[in-house]
Chains A and B, each alone.
Chain A
């Protein structure tokens, strides 16, 4: 017959049904809409920028009003000059990179240790009973507490820094994976088993992808812990041999009573922490959630 091979001719019972089905599909299908760029700018960028400007304005106001001595609360422009100075010296990027590379390397090591550890805790009842509570308890232990021990064991070295990062980040990553796996709907596992996804194939094709949202939340928290731990370690265990990172820069500024430098150090640490989250983890999380229909376009 004429070129309608997939859709039967209307009028026949079969054709009526195909038409009905097409109508149902069109009516029920979820329409997804991308937010226009202008709206993103208005709702996502404008509010934080306003907040930052407001903080700067209050700061400037306090300085002008002379609330406290200049060496305690310097003018915002003094902090800006410190930043400019570092940039013109050519040391700014070096300082930031020293810390960021340490943080990321430590985070990757924590990832490599925390992931199998999380899998083990999630899948083995014995291991879970043995170390599960310790692992969640460790998350509430500030990693600063590990610094003295790490320094005595490893000296003021890079190894001590990494040890502190690992002790802070590994529990977060492992716990994220455990809760991700615990929240996998049993229906997915049953469906997987009826299709023959058992054992390692079941873990690879069903369990791990289903646990991914919880895992990524754990990674996000793991990064925050890595960064915090590293800054604590750099502040306390600073030594010229280790190269100048953000923590050391902050500590040096304190010993020099250089308040603009101290504020700059704090702001840079905050900035790096936020930037890595915004560049790496938030897009990753949003992508995973959105592809599963879990995140409405907020």
Chain B
């Protein structure tokens, strides 16, 4: 791996992986505790419409995807706030429409055809330096906002009504974070692709959630887990010549199943312990009698 770092694309891949980890850890934790996984999936798929628009009108890819993912995110959030029980239907529709629009617009664009596979599974080895700068900026904004407004974000995620009574600008902060979710998704798609962005956003926070007692620790642990999954995945894919996005996800999934196994062991040993102590208690009671 060290000798591989002499290549610029490999250095970019490592940076992209690290920055994606920061975004996945923080934003992913927000998504998981607010139960926005379906919304995040909707945004990721609708964003494909942005690719179609970008190619059809000949504008840079990044503007197309960011524009469409933001628009989709805001419509979905507005519906979520206005008509809570209809949000899943609405997200499902936007999810499909975005994808379809992307496919049709690319059909209509003469000559050039994008590599759909790289959009679906990502291409961490082909992330350009410009994207790295975007991700670094986005990571910095996310980090600063989350540190400054940590208590507010925590209150909104835990109990939005109570947060509103305390004078927290609930809707404004919620929209800002949804926007961060949307833009993060666009960049994480570059790393692991559309299909797997949700996995990388949810697996580390899901594992972290079980072992921590605060949202802050959940975010920190998710970032660390994400770094481990990304770097291990990248290393394995480099040495075994596998698709990097899919390899990263397989590593994350392995981590997920290991954590499930660890939970089983913990709950089993706890049960043994309580059994033993209750047996002991019974015995002492008998002895006392």
Q: Do A and B come from one complex?
A: no
Taking Cβ atoms with an 8 Å cutoff, the residues of A that contact B are none
Taking Cβ atoms with an 8 Å cutoff, the residues of B that contact A are none
